[in-house]
Amino acid sequence: MKIFLLIIGVYMASAFTACAGQDNWIDLFNGKDLSGWKALENPGSFRVEKGAIVCSGSRGHLFYMSDKPFKNFELVAEIKTAAFANSGIFFHTSPQENGWPNKGYEVQVNNTHSGEGNYRETKRTGSLYGVRNVYYPMVKDGDWFKMRIRVEENRVEIFVNDQQVVDYIQPGNPWRSENRKGWVLGQGLFALQAHDIKSTAWYRSVKVRRLPDGKKTPMKVDEAWDVTVTKLMDKGFPLVDYHVHLKGGLTLQEAEENSLKLGINYGIAPNCGLHFPVTDDRALARYMDTVKGHAIFRGMQAEGREWVTMFSPKATAKFDYVFTDAMTFTDTKGRRNRIWLPDEVWVDDKQEFMEQLVGKIEAIFSQEPVDIYANPTMLPEVLMPEYDKLWTKERIDRVVKVLAANNIALEINSRYKIPSAEIIKLAKKAGIKFTLGTNNNTSNLGMLEYGLKMIEECKLTPDDIFIPKAHKQKPVLVKGLPKKITG
């Protein structure tokens, strides 16, 4: 009898292990069928093929039905997307017969799809949808990748291929727009999304383990900042600082930690050009190696005018975007001006200097294949007190015209607090896109204060904000490099 009971005990333990696995992991998908799941709105949008759940078809949601709701947990899924895929994993949600789930959170699964018609989708895989968005595409369509979601009390952490992309700490009374009041932590079920008939995503493994109750995590930012960021992301503003340098002691790890804390995405750029750290294609490749697998945009700051002779189009096109300024040029007397350095700029006559500067801006941005005009309208220190006077309407119009004609975005720079609101409003009227940038010279990146102020003052919308172009549309591949130095 004892032997019989022992055998039964071993059998039952083995059966439980097959279901839950080590460390109490539970397989939500058996690899064969949709047992345990319930499809609502359009059940035909979900099926199992070759050991994977396929989410493809008209809008619907596939809910994992559990008698015991999930509160604190860690979920791991293996996912693949096709082109135009727009799926997601919901948690703390509940079954809903139709429509988008209005309870709990969605973790976005969208690697490349940018929306259709008048709707522009910028939120990429790993986003805590509409609350803490990720804009850099961590993986490609067609590649299997791992998503990990960890929820403990008031904290949500999201990882894509083991790279953390979200670390959200929900405040006690989080701001939510009127139609998203249910997007808060609590407890509930999981769901997979079929978004539309053009979207296809595969889930070949979905497993979860429950975590014990614990203590709430203290806020890392004040609640006013949390409200600011959440409002912007709720409206769809791409909150990205495209002008960050690893200088002044700032490391890549520190930049990533700051991004997770503040909710600001970063574009990190090396300085590329004559007398700068990066001077050839090999140095560009070394930079790319250092940021591989990290959740940051790769920017190239094209320095001086000589850069067009130093780098190949192929190497340049590996960057997500290229930006330059008009702070380095050779004047009519053959002097190489670097206008941010008081000892390397010559202002013999204010008006003559301004005419030369505007002419250089026109030459640079009509010929050099860049995406963004950085440090825009910057003047030498000696002239900055007369900024509004020297930047006449006629000069502003010339700059706006060349940017609009060449589809170049205008940076709103928080370090220098430029350009002025007047210039931003005129640029918006001309259809120019904008970026937010810091151009840090220390490890302190700030919080894009001037840029956020200008968004409100100049009534900018999400559609006014720049997003890096698709590879084939990159200026260096479309325009090529100029045959001679522009200035």
Tens-place pLDDT, residues 200-252: 999 999 999 999 999 999 999 999 999 999 999 999 999 999 999 999 999 99
Nearest to 208 by CA among 186, 189, 185: 189
Both tokens assigned to 334: 């053959």
Give the DSSP H or E segment for 20. helix 2-20
Backbone angles phi, psi at 481, to 5 degrees: -90, 145
Q: Assign 3-state DSSP to the chain and report helix, strand, coil percentages, each to 5.
A: 30, 25, 45
What pLDDT sits at residue 8?
43
pTM to 2 decimals? 0.93
Give residue-wise pLDDT tens across range 407-419.
999 999 999 999 9
What pLDDT sits at residue 355?
98
DSSP letter for 168, please.
E
Superfamily covering domain 237-478: Metal-dependent hydrolases (3.20.20.140)
Of 119-123, 418-422, 475-479, the one with minimum mean pLDDT is 119-123
Partnered with residue 240 across adjacent β-strands are 265
pLDDT exceeds cutoff 80 at 366: yes
Partnered with residue 160 across adjacent β-strands are 147, 163
Judge: domain 21-210, CATH 3.40.50.300. Answer: no
Give residue-wise pLDDT tens across range 33-86.
999 999 999 999 999 999 999 999 999 999 999 999 999 999 999 999 999 999
| Span 326-346, average pLDDT | 95
What pLDDT sits at residue 16?
41
Nearest to 485 by CA among 360, 371, 344: 360
Q: Which residues contact 78 (CB under 8 A, 6 or more apart)?
A: 144, 145, 146, 147, 203, 204, 205
What pLDDT sits at residue 20?
53
Domain residue extents for the chain: 21-210, 237-478
C-alpha–C-alpha distance, residues 364 and 242, integer Å: 20
pLDDT exceeds cutoff 50 at 3: no
C-alpha–C-alpha distance, residues 417 and 435, integer Å: 13
C-alpha–C-alpha distance, residues 329 and 221, integer Å: 42
C-alpha–C-alpha distance, residues 109 and 127, integer Å: 8
Nearest to 412 by CA among 401, 402, 424: 424
C-alpha–C-alpha distance, residues 304 and 300, integer Å: 13
Is residue 182 a contact partner of residue 131, using CB atoms and an 8 Å limit? no
| Span 353-371, average pLDDT | 98
Q: Strands 145-152, 155-160: parallel, antiparallel or unpaired by DSSP? A: antiparallel
CA dihedral of 111, 119, 88, 196, whole degrees rounded to 10: -100
- Alpha carbon separation from 121 to 81, 132, 168, 237, 311 (Å, rounded): 16, 14, 21, 10, 32
Name the band, by pLDDT with cuts 50, 70 and 90, for residue 10. very low
pLDDT exceeds cutoff 80 at 12: no
Name the band, by pLDDT with cuts 50, 70 and 90, for residue 116. confident
- Alpha carbon separation from 282 to 307, 310, 311, 456 (Å, rounded): 14, 11, 9, 42
Give residue-wise pLDDT tens across range 371-382.
999 999 999 999
Give residue-wise pLDDT tens across range 137-171.
999 999 999 999 999 999 999 999 999 999 999 99
Name the band, by pLDDT with cuts 50, 70 and 90, for residue 22. low
Give residue-wise pLDDT tens across range 254-274.
999 999 999 999 999 999 999
User: SS3 of 305, please?
Assistant: coil
C-alpha–C-alpha distance, residues 63 and 96, integer Å: 9
